[in-house]
């Protein structure tokens, strides 16, 4: 097992599920170990990442607003998220009397399951990926659509008009913006020639798609970042939970642990969207390469792939936070207008352009 980890070449992808499958023939316990590692690792990663992201969000927001943010719990408030998590766990679990109790209970679970499912196929480094599906992009779209179910159920089962309004907004918004996300994913699929995320990463060995695919790549990236922000319901697209309009929208009636599920799912979804953006447009864990410049490329290779991935993801996360703390919220009809009258036509035109570019091999380094 250890030899395996040490000896494989730099960019040979070895997912946990592959390892478990390999080991199954010789030693079922090892396979079980890998599976447990995958499960436990994902769970631990989920909660740690959630807390880290919440801390980062608060710090970034604070500095945008010329203040310090959390400073008291631990060094520079590092333990603030843990304190908050403990507080949330201790809170009384309130279920409204007239709520649909089963659905009310299930909604946050759906929400978090969709998040976990999306998280496991993200290639974080050649040796750190849980599953590598050959239909990765389709899987992401499918699971992303699943997440809205949790929100719709939450709004419906709360038996609160504000929650229902929020849920309906969420439904309309997610389904609309899903189209644009998928259109921009398709552009990269066309360029890379694969639906498998690891292959998409490897197709960027000569350069990331955002600059190899020049105009098409850049347009697709912006469509992706706008519409995935909308899918994450982060400002300026946070209409489903619009604090000042709907008093919290779909999660108005939730408190304590159930609320923290939504909260966690929201932040992990932000990570997933950023990681996906990094994977598709910035080469994932692939270092910055320019086709043909071997010396430059090998210097770049000195930085471990995991670091590349983390850096790129952090960049997109920061971008989203920047937008959040700067922009006000759109109105619901403006939101729809932006999608159906602007992003959707742009996405389609971009897809046609991408197809043309792939056919005529107009992108950089087509031959390699």
Partner 1 sequence: MTEKSPQDNKHPEKPAQQPSTPESSAPKPTPPPAPAKPEEQVEKPPQPPELTLKVCAAISECKPYSAASDCPTVEVIPENLVKVLTALRDNQDFAFSMLMDHTAVDRIEDGKFELVYRLYSLTTLSMLLVSTKIPRDKPIIPTVSHLWDIAEWQEREVYDLFGVLYDNHPDLRRVFLEDDWVGFPLRKDYKDDFMLTLDIDSLRE
Partner 2 sequence: MAVKISTLEERISVPAEGDNPLNTQEYFINMGPQHPATHGVLRLMLKLDGETVREVIPVLGYIHRGIEKIGEHQTYRQFVHLTDRCDYLSAMMNNWAVSLMVEKAMQTQLNDRIEYIRTIMAELERIQSHMLWWGVLGMDLGAFTPFLYGFRDREMITDIFEETIGCRLTMNYIQPGGLMDDIHPNFVKRVKDVIAYAKPKIDEYEELLSGNVIIQERLRNVGTITAEQATSLGVTGPVLRASGVALDLRRVAPYGAYGQVDFEVAVGSVGDCWDRYWVRVEEIRQSFRIIEQLIDNIPAGKTMLSKPAKKIILPEGSHYAQLETARGILGIYAVSDGKSENPVRIHMRSPNYHNVWSVDAMTRNARIGDLVANISSLDIVVPDIDR
Neighbours of 48 (CB within 10 A): 12
Total residues contacting partner 2 by CB under 8 A comes to 30
Whole-number minimum distance, CB 317 to partner 1, in Å? 24
Give the residue with the Cβ less far from partner 1, 342 or 352: 342
Whole-number minimum distance, CB 334 to partner 1, in Å? 8
Give the residue with the Cβ less far from partner 1, 58 or 329: 329
Provide the sign of the torsion angle of the four alpha carbons 157, 163, 169, 170, taken in this order.
negative
Cα separation, 277 vs 185, whole angstroms: 9
Binding residue for partner 2 (CB under 8 A) from 3, 67, 90, 98? 67
Binding residue for partner 2 (CB under 8 A) from 11, 33, 329, 364? 329
Binding residue for partner 2 (CB under 8 A) from 49, 52, 56, 61? 61
Write the Ramachandran bin of 353: left for phi over 0, alpha for psi from -120 to 50, otherwise beta: alpha
By the rule CB under 8 A, 118 interacts with partner 1: no
Give the residue with the Cβ less far from partner 2, 124 or 165: 165
> Among 120-128, 233-241, 261-269, 286-294, which window interacts with partner 2 (CB under 8 A)?
233-241
> Among 177-185, 194-202, 219-227, 234-242, which window interacts with partner 2 (CB under 8 A)?
234-242
Whole-number minimum distance, CB 338 to partner 1, in Å? 6
Give the residue with the Cβ less far from partner 1, 132 or 339: 339
Binding mask 284-323 for partner 1 (x = CB under 8 A): ----------------------------------------
**Which tokens belong to 55?**
């801390």
Binding mask 327-366 for partner 1 (x = CB under 8 A): -------x--xx---x------------------------
Whole-number minimum distance, CB 109 to partner 1, in Å? 37
Whole-number minimum distance, CB 160 to partner 1, in Å? 25
> Among 148-156, 242-250, 288-296, 305-313, which window interacts with partner 2 (CB under 8 A)?
242-250
CB 351 within 8 A of CB 191: no
Whole-number minimum distance, CB 334 to partner 2, in Å? 6
Total residues contacting partner 1 by CB under 8 A comes to 4
Cα separation, 226 vs 219, whole angstroms: 11
Among candidates 315, 281, 298, which has minimal Cα distance to 197? Answer: 281
Site for partner 2 in 119-158 (CB under 8 A): none
Cα separation, 197 vs 118, whole angstroms: 12
CB 293 within 8 A of CB 29: no
Whole-number minimum distance, CB 341 to partner 1, in Å? 9
Q: Which does 327 bind (CB under 5 to 8 A by kind): partner 1, partner 2, none?
A: partner 2
Binding residue for partner 2 (CB under 8 A) from 7, 9, 90, 244? 244
Whole-number minimum distance, CB 277 to partner 2, in Å? 22
| Site residues (vs partner 1, CB under 8 A) | 334, 337-338, 342
* Contact positions vs partner 2 (CB under 8 A): 61, 64-67, 161-162, 165, 168-169, 235-236, 238-239, 242-247, 325-334
């Amino acid at each position: 097992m250890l030899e395996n980890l040490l000896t494989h070449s730099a960019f040979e992808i070895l997912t946990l599920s592959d390892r478990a499958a390999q080991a199954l023939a010789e030693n079922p316990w090892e396979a079980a170990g890998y599976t447990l590692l995958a499960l436990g690792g994902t769970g631990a990663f989920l909660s740690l990442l959630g807390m880290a992201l919440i801390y980062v969000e608060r710090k970034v927001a604070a500095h945008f607003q010329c203040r310090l943010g959390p400073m008291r719990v631990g060094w520079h408030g590092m333990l603030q998220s843990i304190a908050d998590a403990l507080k949330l766990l201790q809170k009384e679990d309130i279920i409204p009397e007239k709520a649909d109790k089963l659905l009310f209970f299930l909604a946050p679970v759906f929400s978090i399951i969709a998040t976990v499912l999306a998280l496991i196929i993200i290639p974080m480094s050649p040796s750190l990926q849980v599953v590598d599906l050959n239909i990765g992009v389709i899987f992401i779209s499918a699971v992303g659509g699943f997440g809205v179910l949790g929100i719709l159920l939450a709004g419906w089962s709360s038996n609160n008009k504000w929650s229902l309004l929020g849920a309906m907004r969420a439904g309309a918004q997610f389904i609309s913006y899903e189209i644009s996300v998928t259109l921009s994913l398709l552009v990269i699929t066309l360029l890379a020639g694969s639906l498998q995320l690891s292959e998409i990463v490897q197709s960027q060995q000569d350069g990331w798609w955002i600059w190899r695919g020049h105009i098409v790549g850049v347009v697709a990236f912006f469509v992706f970042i706008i519409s995935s922000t909308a899918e994450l319901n982060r400002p300026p697209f946070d209409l489903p939970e619009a604090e000042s309009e709907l008093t919290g929208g779909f999660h108005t009636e939730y408190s304590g642990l159930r609320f923290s599920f939504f909260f966690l799912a929201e932040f992990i979804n932000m990570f997933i969207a950023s990681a996906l953006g990094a994977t598709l447009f910035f080469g994932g864990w692939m270092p910055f390469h320019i086709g043909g410049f071997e010396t430059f490329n090998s210097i770049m290779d000195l930085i471990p792939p995991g670091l590349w991935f983390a850096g790129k993801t952090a960049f997109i996360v920061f971008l989203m936070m920047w937008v959040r703390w700067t922009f006000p919220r759109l109105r619901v009809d403006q939101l729809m207008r932006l999608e159906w009258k602007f992003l959707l036509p742009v996405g389609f035109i971009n897809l046609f352009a991408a197809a043309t570019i792939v056919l005529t091999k107009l992108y950089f380094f087509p031959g390699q």
